[in-house]
Every structure is written in structure tokens, then in C-alpha cells.
Amino acid sequence: MILRTLVLVAVLGIVVHSRSIQRDQNWWNHATFYQIYPRSFKDSNNDGDGDLPGIIEKLPYLVETGVNGIWLSPIMESPQVDQGYDISNYYVIDPRFGTLDDLKLLIIKAHELGLKVILDFVPNHTSDQHEWFKASENRTEGYEDYYVWRDGTSDKPPNNWLSLWTGSAWQWSEKRQQYYLHQFSKQQPDLNYRNPKVHKEMKDILKFYMDLGIDGFRIDAIPYAYEDDQFRDEPRSASPVDPNDYSYLEHNYTSNLPETYALVYEWRKFVDDYAAENDLDSKVLMTEANADLNQTMLYYGTSDGKNLGAHFTFNFLMIQNLNLNTSNAYDIIQMIYSWIDALPDIYSSNWVVCILYVGMKQRQHKQSLIMSSLFQIGNHDNRRYPTRYGAENKDGFLMLDLLLPGVAVTYNGEEFGQEDGEVKYEEGQDPTARDPAVFEQKSRDFERTPLQWDNTTNAGFNEGAKTWLPVSKKYQELNLKSQLDETKESYFQNYKALIRKRQEETARLGSTNIWALSNDALVLRRSYEGKHIAVAFKLGWKDNNEQETVLIPGVSCQNGNVAIASVGSQYKRGDNISLQSLVLQPHEAVVIDIEC
Ligand code: NOJ
């Protein structure tokens, strides 16, 4: 940039204004994001709910972890029926969390510390308390079609569409004498994207937050933005379940419509143009699209390369398809492979081509400068990963998650091994589980309990006021503070070491090789210019309590050095170990540096 400016000045003899800062368009490409669930993160004013000043207070801690950015679950004004995923005003911060000034301060401080800030953006639905909905229900001129309204009689909905949270997706409005659509709870009416005014509203919101300095958006529930304009009944699915259950029907008319992908491409262009016009680092979009793989990939863009979509889209395979009762090492490998293989083969000039081996099969793994693969093992909608994969396997899964190629998103608490909390039905807050019969199985409250900072009152989350969800009883032993000592082994020290490892060239640019060596042991190897980072992991699933001798395939040298070892491992950092016959106990995992 500077050179070009100087050349211009010399050649044209003119004075030009130029900036010497090179904008970073690919800052997100191998980033680690940290998902903050604001209500449970840190309560600075002791009112029982976490808040923005609490997050600001913890920013230096987040820098210490080594993450590059934070994603805040919804903080906009909301009746909190669905914990902020029901927004009543997109331009106001929910008073529980603070004010717009707090957000501005958070952005400034985060940027000073080199952290990017991503906001949760909820475009599919609003709260039924939003002024738009009230105006629409009253048929106020200009707002009549902001939502999806349809005729029917009070005892017969317009069609058979189901809500993701069971029962009809239609709610009768006495006031308007029509039904409105809600794909989630009835307090979350779906916006009507066939109305251009709604597009304009959403762009205004995106611009408002980009003007404040926000670096990108996690787009909530995007598959449900559009529905069939003929309102056709959905066909019956193959699963023999309750007719009120969402899985009773196929959802071709209410999810992943072609118009929905086009909407994401429209937003991508909007944020790209904004960044270019204002000479800023790129603004990123991450889509939450829990669909089949081919549909999910369309959120990245079209295969002709003409439309760009999300920079990365969430990968739910690891979270939803694996569990310690039924999966084995081959399933994990297959899951990783299916994602990488499905990534669209477009924009080829932007690919950094890597080689991926699955078992003995060689695959080409693509890593793009304009989109990225994304792995995650937990979020606020699923049991914490130690519950799903076994608490003894905390380190092994984190090693895999953070050393796979692409972007990683870790959910708050994962960095020090926080486990699910204990919540009784009467204490529950999740609208999807307001029935004692389904509470244990469906409630998302367990993974949302307050963060366990230390062993003082309420785990250091606040100063003793009743918390919105109970603090887990495990906090006396399982808390961050007890893991801060750098001379002692702990999950947190391992997390920090893994984030540093992710930043090495081998992890950023290296080829990816994965092997299941047996039902219960696997190896991930990243390689770049004669250097390798390997993860060897013995799951110990399904009562497989035997030790196992593994090897690191495809390297010519005999030995390597332990860089990170799971808590309680027989190996320690710096140990020189054999790559040909490495003995691992159940649940043991090591990251090995290899140079040959
Ligand atoms: C996905 C969010 O992650 C979840 O928490 C929420 O309930 C639904 N979208 C509806 O907005």
C-alpha cells in the first residue's frame, strides 16, 4: 500500500492521501472464537444476571487465553422467553446486561486488546412484544405484512406446519382474526422476508452495529427465514413419532428454501461493501444452519463462485452425531471427513490445498481464504461436552477440536473443563422444557449455569445474590482459579497451550491426516515443511479399559517430544517418546511435536 502510494506520487507528481494500515481481510481464517453466554458469564452488579460490565472486567482474562474474538449470545432488549432469542427492540441493550454505552465501551476495550467482537443476530423472528408485531397485529398501515399472517378458523390452522418446539407452528390472534407463524415458541413470531421492508430493517440493524464497531454476526436460525409462498402442507416423514413432534414431517416448505440462501448472499455483500467502503477489516458472518450437509454448504455460497455467503457455518456433526454410548473412533474420523469433504470446491484460486487421509484413503482437504471449516464441541444448546463424551476425555476432545484446520469456537467454561450444572425442574428457565416429563432430556439449562470462576460465594460469578440459574455444586473443586498456576497441570493450562499451538504454521497451514487405529484410538497429524504436530488419543469408550499401543503413521523419525499431555497422563511436557510404539492408557491423550 505504502509502496503503491509512493509510486503514484512519483509518477503522477500528485499528493495523495493514503493510509499506511494494511487491512486484514483474512483475520478470521484460523481464528479461535470464545462464545460468551452473557447471562451466566459475570454479574458485576450482583443482581443475579451476568452483564456487559462483567464481560469488560474479564477481557484481560480472555486475552490471556489466547482467543482472537468473542461471540456474545443475544444482548438486545428481550422479555427473555427464549433467553434473548426473542428480541423486542434491536436498537436497545437489555437492561439486565447494561446499556448501549456499555457495549460501546466493551468494543473499544476489546479492540484495544486485539479482540474482535461478534454479536448474535436474530433475524428469523422477533418477540411478540416487539413494536413491529404489535403494529402488525393491529394492521397499522405499513406494518401489515411484517410477519407471516394467514387466514384460518380459530380451531383450524392454515396448514399442517409444525413448530420446532412441538405442536402447530400457527397461533391464532383474536385481535387480527388471523393466524401468525412461529417456527419456535408462540412468543417468537416469524418475520416475513417476502416483504422488502423487512430486508431494509435488517440491513439497518446490521449497519447500526457495524457503525458501533462490531466485527461480525452469528446469524441465528437462518434456515427458517423463508417458507413456501403457496403454504403447502409438508409431507409425512419416515419417523414413527408423535404427530406434534417436529420430526413427524419433512420440512421442505419451511426450511432451507432457495430464497434463504439468497438472503445470506445479500447480507454478505452488504457487510463486504460496508467494510470496503469504510476501509475496515472484513466483517464476518457465521451462520447457524442445522441442516443436512449439502444444504449447509450452500450457506457458504454458490458453486459457480458468483455468490459468497457465510465466512463459516456451524458444524453440528460433532455435537449431535457423536456420543460415548454408541460412537467409536471410526465414527469420529468419518464425521470429520464428511465435513471437510463436503466443503464446496469453489473459489479454487483461493484454496490452500492440503492433503487429508482418512484411514488409508487420500483426500484433498481444502482451506480457503474466503471461507473456513469450523469445528466446535459445545454451545449453549447442547449438554456440555464432558457429559456427551465423558469427563475423562476432556483434554483429548479439546486437542482434536483445536488442532483441526479452520476456525474454532469454544463455549465459555470449556477452557477449564466446566461440566453441566444441576438444575431442578422448578428452577428451569428453558421454554423448550416446561414439562416435567421432558425436562431432564430436553432442558438446555444444564449447560447454561453460571461460570465457575473460583471457590468463593456463587463461584465468583457475583457476590451472593440469587443467580438466574443455580451455580453448580461442583464449583468448589472445579473452577478456573484452581487452574491458574502455570506450574501445575490443568485443563486451563492445556487449553492455553493448545491455542498457542493453533497459531503455529504447522497447525495453520499444514496438511491434515486422521486415522482410527482401532475402535478406540485415533491419531490426528498436521504436517508442514518437515514439521508435524500429532494428537494421539485413546478414548476408553464403552468400558474399553485396556491400555493400547499406537503409532504415528507416515513420519520417518522414531521419536517426538510431548508438547501437551492430558491431565493425569503418564507423559509430561518435554518427554521424548516413541512414535512407533506409544502406550496410552484409556482417556489419555498427547500432542507431540515431531521434526523430520
Ligand atoms: C438457535 C439458538 O441457538 C437457540 O438457543 C434458540 O432457542 C433458537 N435458535 C431460536 O432462536
Sequence-ordered strand ranges (E) for 58-99: 69-72, 76-77, 89-93
Residues with CB under 6 A from ligand 1: 82, 85, 122, 184, 220-221, 288, 380-381
User: Ligand 1 pocket check: which of 186, 224, 381, 442 to mutate, most ligand atoms within 8 Å of Cβ?
Assistant: 381
If pLDDT is split at 50, 70 and 90, which confidence band does 5 have?
very low
User: Rounded to 5 degrees, what are φ and ψ at 169?
Assistant: -85, 5
Q: pLDDT, tens digit, for every residue of 293-346? A: 888 889 998 877 789 999 988 888 888 888 888 889 999 988 887 887 777 665
Q: Which atom of ligand 1 is nearest to the CA of 288?
A: 1
Would you state the pLDDT for residue 336?
A: 84
For residue 311, how far is its CA from the centre of ligand 1 (angstroms)?
Answer: 20
How far is C-alpha 552 from the chain's CA centre? 31
> Ligand 1 center to residue 82 CA distance, Å?
7
Residue whose cell numbers read 487452574: 483
Are 387 and 440 spatial neighbours (Cβ–Cβ below 8 Å)?
A: no
* Mean pLDDT (whole number) for 490-495: 98
Q: Tell me the CA–centroid distance for residue 459 and ligand 1, in Å.
A: 27
DSSP 3-state of 182 = coil
Which residue's C-alpha comes closest to atom 2 of ligand 1?
Answer: 220
Q: Whose CA is nearest to atom 11 of ligand 1?
A: 85
The three cell numbers locating residue 10: 512519483
| Cα of 135 from ligand 1 centre, angstroms | 25
**The pLDDT value given to residue 56:** 98
The closest residue, in CA terms, to atom 10 on ligand 1 is 85
What phi, psi does 173 have (nearest 5°)?
A: -110, 115
DSSP code at position 246: G
pLDDT at res. 399: 97
Best probe residue, ligand 1, of 128, 220, 287, 290 (max atoms within 8 Å of C-beta): 220
The yes-or-no verdict on residue 122 having pLDDT over 80 is yes
Cα–Cα separations (whole angstroms), residue 53 to 5, 49, 453, 472, 481:
42, 11, 16, 23, 20
Q: Which of 39, 78, 81, 82 to mutate to test the pocket of ligand 1 (most atoms within 8 A of CB)?
A: 82
* Other CB atoms within 10 A of residue 195 CB: 16
Q: Cβ(186)–Cβ(269) under 8 Å?
A: no
Task: Give, in order, the Cα–Cα distances in Å from 145 to each of 12, 36, 41, 150, 362.
Answer: 55, 34, 38, 10, 52
**Which numbered atom of ligand 1 lies nearest the CA of 85?**
11
Q: Which three cell numbers stand for residue 292?
A: 443436512
323 alpha carbon – ligand 1 mean position (Å)? 22
pLDDT digits (tens, 9 = 90+) for 358-391: 444 444 455 555 567 777 899 999 999 999 999 9
Q: Which of 9-23, 172-186, 233-247, 529-543 has the lowest mean pLDDT?
A: 9-23
Instruction: Tell how far the Cα of 524 is from the centroid of ligand 1, in angstroms.
Output: 32
Q: Across residues 505-534, what is the average pLDDT?
A: 91
Index of the ligand 1 atom closest to the CA of residue 86? 11
Look at residue 464 and tell me whether its pLDDT is greater than 70. yes
What does the pLDDT look like over 393-441, one tens digit per residue? Answer: 999 999 999 999 889 999 999 999 999 999 999 999 999 998 999 999 9
Query: Looking at the DSSP assignment, which residues form a beta bridge with residue 344?
Result: none
Starting from the edge strand earliest in sequence, which strands make up the sheet with 149-150, in order?
Answer: 149-150, 178-181, 170-173
Q: What is the pLDDT of residue 402?
A: 95
- Per-residue pLDDT of 222-259, as tens digits, reads 999 999 999 999 999 998 789 999 999 999 999 999 99
Does residue 526 contact residue 549 with C-beta atoms inside 8 Å?
A: no
Q: What is the pLDDT of residue 57?
A: 98
The three three-digit cell numbers of residue 360, written as one number: 488409508
Ligand 1: residue whose CA is nearest its atom 6: 85
Ligand 1 nearest-atom number relative to CA 431: 7
- pLDDT by residue (tens digit) across 435-452? 999 999 999 999 999 999
The closest residue, in CA terms, to atom 5 on ligand 1 is: 381
Amino acid at 468: W
Residues marked active site are found at: 220, 288
Domains of the chain: 32-126+196-351+368-483 (3.20.20.80), 509-595 (2.60.40.1180)
CA 220–ligand 1 middle distance (angstroms): 7
